[in-house]
């Protein structure tokens, strides 16, 4: 893929206007590409998973921690693409495992967003911070929960401890809010088992049950009701 072609694809992905306001932070569901500008050969080959090219570039002096204009490192690029051999090569070259992009996300965030558990494990073993938050307060656990990646959720809970189950973004939404909104019943069960509050309130007053109900996720709604997630006003108040 040429740099010109890649930049053209990136421009097509940039939204013309911000997404509508929702009761909780909305994460992109499709595989993202790093921001345009500042593309080095190492970033490009890492994004595409070309291990031999990455090895040749590193041997020739390419800097493992060079970033795009948007702050994406080669480790971000290989993590989001699910390219474990390239991730391992970069870690061996002392790439910063906790590199932060301009948006505040780390390689671990994108590994968990995509459900790449082997990459997540490699990053955690190399010292990645399990609960590193983006600028909006979203953690790798939020990303894994939204996308229904049960193994990644369990992995992060194991690394960070059950205290992670109720971690909040800046809108006070927990991973349980994210999982409930998208109907991931197994993830909801895992978070509840780890001690997540079924009645947690976001800043807009939404509980996980509100979001499951709004989106028609009956199995998740039942799980939350059984866990006591309805709260005092689950059935509303009848006046008169």
Tell me the pLDDT tens digit for each residue of 67-109: 999 999 999 999 999 999 999 999 999 999 999 999 999 999 9
Each residue of 23-62: b (16+ CB within 10 Å) or e? bbbebeeeebbbbbeebbbbbbbbbbbbbebbbebbeeeb
What average pLDDT score do residues 214-228 get? Answer: 97
pLDDT in tens, 125-180: 999 999 999 999 999 999 999 999 999 999 999 999 878 899 999 999 999 999 99
Domains for the chain: give ranges and CATH numbers: 33-129 (1.25.40.20), 136-229 (1.25.40.20)
* Gyration radius of the chain's alpha carbons: 19
Assess contact for 175 and 159: CB atoms under 8 A.
no
Confidence label for 121 from pLDDT (cuts 50, 70 and 90): very high
Q: What is the pTM of this model?
A: 0.83
Mean pLDDT, all residues of the chain: 86
CA dist., res. 132 & res. 35, Å (int): 20
């Amino acid at each position: 893929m040429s740099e010109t072609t890649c930049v053209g694809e990136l421009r097509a992905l940039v939204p013309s206007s911000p997404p509508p306001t929702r009761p909780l932070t909305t994460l992109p569901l499709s595989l993202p590409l790093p921001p345009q500008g500042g593309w080095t050969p190492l970033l490009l080959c890492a994004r595409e998973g070309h291990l031999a090219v990455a090895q040749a570039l590193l041997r020739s002096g390419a800097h493992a921690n060079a970033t795009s204009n948007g702050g994406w490192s080669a480790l971000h690029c290989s993590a989001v693409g699910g390219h474990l051999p390239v991730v391992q090569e970069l870690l061996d070259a002392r790439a910063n495992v906790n590199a932060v992009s301009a948006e505040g996300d780390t390689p671990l965030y994108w590994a968990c967003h995509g459900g790449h558990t082997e990459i997540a494990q490699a990053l955690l073993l190399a010292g990645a911070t399990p609960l590193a938050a983006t600028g909006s307060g979203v953690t790798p656990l939020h990303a894994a929960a939204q996308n229904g990646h049960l193994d990644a959720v369990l992995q992060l809970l194991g690394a960070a401890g059950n205290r992670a189950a109720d971690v909040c973004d800046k809108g006070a939404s927990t991973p349980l809010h994210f999982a409930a909104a998208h109907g991931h019943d197994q993830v909801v069960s895992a978070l509840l088992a780890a001690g997540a509050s079924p009645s947690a309130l976001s800043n807009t007053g939404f509980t996980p049950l509100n979001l499951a109900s709004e989106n028609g996720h009956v199995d998740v709604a039942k799980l939350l009701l059984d866990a006591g997630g309805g709260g005092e006003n689950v059935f509303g108040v009848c006046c008169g």
